Amino acid sequence: MSLQRYLCSQLVALRNSSAESGVSLTVNLEEIWTTGAVLESEEPVKEGEGVEIRCGTAFFAGRIVQLEPHELGWRLEVEFSPMTPWSQEKFRPRHFLDVSKLR
């Protein structure tokens, strides 16, 4: 599997997979690769927490592996479950840039 990261920008729904309330946050998808993604959120999420990312019919399950605060909110890194890897065929964000093609 390729670990090539792609820059992107698209609003997606992020839900705590163990939340009983079913509350989801709208977050911005910033980067994506086969086994994970980077998201920007205005709300904090606990590191180590299981989450679900949804956009249209695309669904990815995973967990927060890194959380960094910054002046506009939080930068979250999600590691996808091996059962829900990302591929361009499965989901291609609207704003998508393969930086390897710029060279």
| 40-67 exposure pattern, b = at least 16 Cβ within 10 A, e = fewer | ebeeebeeebbbbbeeeeeebbbbbeeb
Q: Which domain holds residue 58?
A: 6-86
pTM of the predicted model as reported, rounded to 2 decimal places: 0.88
Q: What pLDDT, on the 0 to 100 scale, is given for residue 16?
A: 86
Give the tens place of pLDDT for each residue, 6-60. Answer: 999 999 999 987 666 567 899 999 999 999 999 999 998 899 999 999 998 999 9
Handedness of CA 7, 91, 15, 85 (dihedral sign): negative
Any residues with CB less than 8 A from the CB of 19 and at least 6 apart, and which? none
In a domain, residue 103? The reply is: no
In a domain, residue 100? The reply is: no
What CATH code is carried by the domain that includes residue 77?
2.40.10.220
